[in-house]
Structure 1
Amino acid sequence: MIGSAVWTILVTFVVPALLAPSRWQARYPRAALLVWHILFTSGLAALALAFLTTVLLAIGDQGGTGRLGAALVVAGCVAGFGYTTGVVLAGAGEISRNELRTRTRILQTPHRMRTLDASTDLLLSDLAMPFACSFPGRRQTVVVSQGLVDSLTAAQLAAVVAHERAHLTQKHFVALRLADLNAACLPMVPAARRMRRATGLLIELMADDAAARAAGPSHLANALVRIGYATQDPSLAVRAERLAVRRWRRVPLANRPVVVLP
């Protein structure tokens, strides 16, 4: 029980503080994301083990006070589980509502649709602000704005679409939703905020790598620089520099994705 409690404290406060500034994460984003989520899962498992051990020790005490203590411990665990379940459901509901509001705002603007493949649609929004995003679902959707189309070349646009498709094919929304839920349920815990920030950055780097291999790193890097200049987001220039300094295997032109807008 003590060991489980100590491990929970370590993965909640100590390890995330040491892991957050690690530079190797930018080079190996997939491994880094796995480490973050293994720590999160092991912390939950250690906490559950500590509660279970407490209950078993209380039940094992056969004295009169032991039975009373066991009843109190079980009641406390049931109450704690109920409270935790309520917090998790409330956090999940808020996250789902935010996603639905974002999707609804985009769908309410004038747009055109076309099919990218058997499971993915491309939505071209008339919004002038340059942006791109993706929505999972039974029919996955990649969204690009008219402002983005006007800002990029065809090759750069194809690289951005490849980036968004990587989010969908690699199921990044699962890791992001888990990190969002963790942060929503534990808003005062620094590790939850660090995990959310790290997850958001790492999935972008993973999608960058996938798009660079599919469409060419120079096209994606140039697209990030242009979008960063238009949106005044300096982080995009940093991601572009990361793509520029890495060594990439040459991508044959025949294998690069081409996006033809309706």
Structure 2
Amino acid sequence: MITAVGLAGYAVLVGAAVPPLLARARWAHRAPAVAVLAWQGLMVTFVVATALAVHHLVMTEQHMHDGLVGLLTACGLAADASHGNAPPTFGDALVIAAPIAVLLLPVGWLVRCTWRARRARGRQLGMLTLVGEPAPEYGATIVDYDTPAIYCLSGPGSHIVVTRGALDALTEEQLRAVLEHERAHVTGRHHLLKILVDAFSRAFRGLPLARYGKEQTNLLLEMIADDRALRFYAPEVLATAMCEVAAGRAPQAALGAGGSGVLIRLMRVLTPQPRPHRAAWLGIVAASVAAPLLPLLVACGP
């Protein structure tokens, strides 16, 4: 019972107490890629800690002092599991099913969100074949629409879409800066991270980690793409382009340069801050990787 309480407390800490603090952390906007890893680490930690806490809460007395070994024994996976014992009881089945249900909840939503994203992307690609005009010089597809907007449809056969309004509003340099931003989304496969956080937020509705994690990850992914564009273009060029396309809304399953938190991103682009010290971000990476392992170490103990 003590182990179950400890694991549950750890899950509450990760799921409710830490997210507001991480969302306000100043270093996150200075190292967005590391911050995305930190959010992913928290999500994995919450699922692992919750599953193990549920396992310990429903464990029968037979497995009470066996930790994770007891769960593996009930599954017949432990090396010393006896094959001649009686068939598993209902209690044994509950020990196995309860933590698996916690794990399957986000997995099920991940499958559903992936299917939805692929269906929405398929609809958009179908429309592009009808109304889009290829522009090989930009590596993009032009759509006859007055509102300035630039977005990408990532995945197999990815497309970057530019509206006529964007072509009219942006200079050549501004346009290429935004296109570089969108290529960063494509090459970084940011659509996969968006699907992951969307699935987690739907699986654990109301959880602060789900709300903050989705909001902050979407913003951080845009900052990562901004940083890619800033390698080749001046901050003023990218900032002006962002203002011009801010009103353009990207369709579902797309990543747009207007994106999340335009004002926050504008301030960040125009007033750049130094990256965290190497030792600091290495420590954050190590903590993000170690956080999901801690509940496993506790559960594996006798």
TM-score by length of 2: 0.68
Q: Which residue is equivalent to 1:31?
A: 34
Show CA shifts across 1:41-82 (max 9, x none).
1222222333444566643369xxxx9x97326326426635
Match of 1:154 in 2: 172
C-alpha distance in 2 between matches for 1:116 and 1:136: 19
Aligned pair 1:78/2:90, yes or no?
A: no
Shift in alpha-carbon separation, 1:46–1:79, aligned structure 2, 3 A: closer
Q: Which runs of 5+ in 1 are unaligned?
A: 249-262
Matching residue of 1:259: none
Q: Which amino acid aligns with 1:20?
A: A
Query: What's 1:100 paired with?
Result: 119
Does the 8 A contact of 1:55 with 1:74 survive in 2?
A: no
Match of 1:138 in 2: 156
| Aligned with 1:113 (options 99, 114, 134) | 134
Cα gap change, 1:152 to 1:184, in 2 (>3 Å): same
Note the residue ranges of structure 2 that are not aligned, 5 or more in a row: 66-85, 250-257, 275-302
The amino acid of 2:30's aligned partner reads R
Aligned in 2, Cα 1:129/1:207: closer, same or farther, shift over 3 Å? same
Go from structure 1 to structure 2 and tell me whether the alpha carbon gap of 1:85 and 1:238 turns closer, same or farther (over 3 Å shift).
Answer: closer
Change (3 A) 1:131 1:137: same
Residue 200 (structure 1) aligned to one of 207, 218, 222: 218
Distance 1:100 1:115 in 2: 26
Cα distance in 2, alignment partners of residues 157 and 127 from structure 1: 16
Cα deviation, residue 173, structure 1: 1.8
Alpha-carbon distance in structure 2 between the residues aligned to 1:247 and 1:187 = 34
**CA 1:21–1:133: 2 relative to 1, 3 Å:** same
In structure 2, the CA distance between the partners of 1:18 and 1:73, relative to structure 1 (3 Å rule), is farther
1:26-54: CA deviations, max 9, x gaps? Answer: 22211211111111112222223334445
Q: Find the residue that maps to 1:20 and give its secondary structure.
A: helix
In 2: Cα distance, 1:26 partner to 1:61 partner: 44
Of 225, 228, 238, which residue of structure 2 is paired with 1:210? 228
Give 1:225's aligned amino acid.
C
Q: Quote the Cα distance in structure 2 between the aligned partners of 1:94 and 1:139.
A: 20
Q: In the alignment, what sits opposite 1:260? A: none
Counterpart amino acid of residue 33 in structure 2: R
Task: Give the match's secondary structure for 1:219.
Answer: helix
Change (3 A) 1:228 1:76: same
Which residue identity does 1:40 align to in structure 2? M
Which fold has the larger relative contact order, with Cα–Cα distance below 8 Å and residues 6 or more apart in sequence? 2
| Structure number with higher helix proportion | 1
**C-alpha deviations, 1:205-231, integer Å up to 9, x for none?**
111011111233221111012223677
Question: Structure 1: which amino acid aligns with 2:188?
Answer: Q
Bigger Cα displacement from structure 2, 198-207 vs 92-101: 92-101
Structure 1, 189-198 or 69-78: larger mean CA deviation: 69-78
Task: Specify the alignment match of 2:44 in structure 1.
Answer: 41
Query: Helix, strand or coil: the match of 1:214?
Result: coil
Letter aligned with residue 16 of structure 1? P
| SS of equivalent to 1:134 | strand
What is aligned with 2:72? none
Identity between Structure 1 and Structure 2 (%): 27
Rate the CA distance shift 1:14–1:82 in 2: closer, same or farther, 3 A. closer
**1:206-261 superposed Cα distances (whole Å, 9 cap, x missing partner):** 1101111123322111101222367799942442232111279xxxxxxxxxxxxx
Partner residue in 1 for 2:82: none
Which residue identity does 2:94 align to in structure 1? A
SS of the aligned residue for 1:48 comes to: helix
Cα distance in structure 2, aligned partners of 1:170 and 1:225:
24
Q: Secondary structure at the match of 1:123?
A: strand
- Matched position secondary structure for 1:100: helix
- Alignment length (residue pairs): 240
